[in-house]
Amino acid sequence: MGRRDWLISGFVTGAMALTIAACGGGGSPAGPSGGGGGGGTPVETTTVTITSAGVSPASIIVNAGAKVMFVNNDSKTHEPSSNPHPSHTLCPELNIGSLASGQSRESAPMVGGRTCGYHDHLDNTNAAMQGTVQTR
């Protein structure tokens, strides 16, 4: 390999590394989350509880392949859905469907290496009903 080939190879490798890092999530704007409320430090759990005050915890960390359990402890129906609203296409495993008061339902297995934003489809502008799921 000549010097020119080494330079091109190094450039391509660096560009690929930057592209992969930008797609990785980790809460960065370049990640697939599409936003989401849920400030604060993520908590390692697989359960999100919905109350009249919002989702708790708003930001969680799970392992790849884990399922997230959404529990509706509010008196109103909620519909956890992945961002962006209204298409819900970035993390479809979080499209839970309608949860009446007292119901709970698991997501599909989470894909690793990304951060997914979610919201209540029935109250999509309410920041208290938004959160993130980060997968390792």
Which pLDDT score, from 0 to 100, does residue 135 have? 95
Q: Please, which residues bridge with residue 48 across strands?
A: 70
- Say if residues 98 and 123 touch (Cβ distance below 8 Å): no
Query: Selecting from 2.60.40.420, 2.40.430.10, 3.90.78.10, 3.40.190.10, what CATH number does the domain 32-135 have?
Result: 2.60.40.420
pLDDT at residue 28, as a whole number: 34
pLDDT value, residue 99: 98
State how far the Cα of 112 lies from the Cα of 134, in Å rounded to an integer.
8
pLDDT, tens only, 68-86: 999 999 999 999 999 999 9
How confident is the model at residue 132, as a pLDDT? Answer: 97
Spans in the chain with pLDDT lower than 70: 1-40
Which position has the token pair 């509880």? Answer: 49
pLDDT at position 31 is 37
Query: Long-range CB contacts (< 8 A, 24+ apart) of 31-35?
Result: 31/114, 31/115, 32/90, 32/91, 32/114, 32/115, 32/116, 33/83, 33/90, 33/91, 33/114, 33/115, 33/116, 33/117, 33/132, 34/82, 34/83, 34/84, 34/90, 34/117, 35/83, 35/84, 35/117, 35/130
| pLDDT the model gives residue 114 | 96
